Amino acid sequence: MWKTLRQIQRIGIATEPPPSPDDALRVREELQAGIREVMGRALCIRHIDAGSCNGCELEIHALHNPIYNLEGLGIRFVASPRHADLLLVTGPVSAHMEVALRRVYDATPDPKLVVALGDCGCTGGVFGESYACRGRVSNIIPVDVAVPGCPPAPNSILTAILTAITASKRAP
């Protein structure tokens, strides 16, 4: 216990201060304001891997580290689509995940915001379309924002989430 406390004390707060006005933190400030305006106090995200290579998942995990500190921004990943405001979809959509993806979308309450992640989510990426692969996410469900990258860096994922929230504000 003593060692644990000492380690916590020694490392301190790892969450980064803004390196420059237009970098990571600016994204976060906007993001927080956006969430407050649209969602009240918190944004709930449901992640669905529709057939990714698992690279995009690694960068989603990074959002939870103390440096990006996603939860500190009021953004939470939830275990059920029924609790979600936003779906974060990775991968090209494999044929075997098509039904599951549609069901998750149907189970999500309005407004269903959808962010498609990575080159695969945007275009089908290196996997394309085939007997087993339906390609981009928007081939199966409506997508609000698509963020390229293979995999996209954590800050790009944050930017995408923000953009989705802003776009939804414009909708009637």
Partner 1 sequence: MPLRRWLNEATPLPGAPRARALTVDADAWREAARAVAAAGGRSITLWAAGGGRTLRAAFATGPGVLVLSLPLAAGAETYPGIEDLFPCANRLQRAVADLSGPRSTDTDTRPWLRHAAWPADYHPLVAQGGPAAADGTAVEVYPFVRVEGEGVHEIPVGPVHAGVIEPGHFRFSVVGEKILRLEERLGYAHKGIERRFQSMALLDGHRLAARVSGDSAVAYSWAYCQALEGMAGTEVPPRAVWLRALGLELERMANHLGDLGALGNDAGFAFGLAQFSRLKEQLLRATEHALGQRYLFDFVVPGGVGVDPAPEALRALGACAEDIQREVVRLREIYDEHAGVRDRFNGAGTVLPELAARLGLTGLAGRASGQAFDLRCDLPCEPYTELRPRMVVRGEGDVAARVAVRFDEFVESCRLLGEILAHLPDGPVRVSVETPAEGAFGIGLVEGWRGPVFVALEAGAAGAIGRCHPHDPSWQNWPVLEHAAIGNIVPDFPLINKSFNLAYSGHDL
Residue 99 Cα distances to 54, 140, 158, 164, angstroms: 20, 9, 28, 24
Return the one option of partner 1, ligand SF4, none that residue 20 interacts with (CB less than 5 to 8 A, by type). none
* Site residues (CB under 6 A) for ligand SF4, limited to 69-98: 90-91
Which residues does 59 contact at the CB level (< 8 Å), separation at least 6?
A: 151, 152, 153, 154, 157
| Closer residue to partner 1 (CB): 14 or 33 | 14
| Closer residue to ligand SF4 (CB): 69 or 156 | 156
157 binds partner 1 (CB under 8 A): no
Measured distance CA(83)–CA(79) in Å, rounded:
8
At closest approach, how far in Å is the CB of 20 from ligand SF4? 27
Site string for partner 1, 68-87 (x = CB under 8 A): x--------x-xx-------
Query: Nearest 5°: phi and psi at 123?
Result: -135, -5
User: Which residue stretch of 18-26, 27-35, 150-158, 161-169 sits at the interface with partner 1 (rule: CB under 8 A)?
Assistant: 150-158
DSSP state, residue 164: H
* Site residues (CB under 8 A) for partner 1, limited to 19-38: none
Peptide linkage before 151 cis (omega within 30 of 0):
yes
Measured distance CA(9)–CA(44) in Å, rounded:
30
Residues near ligand SF4, by CB under 6 A: 52-53, 55-56, 90-91, 118-120, 125-126, 150-151
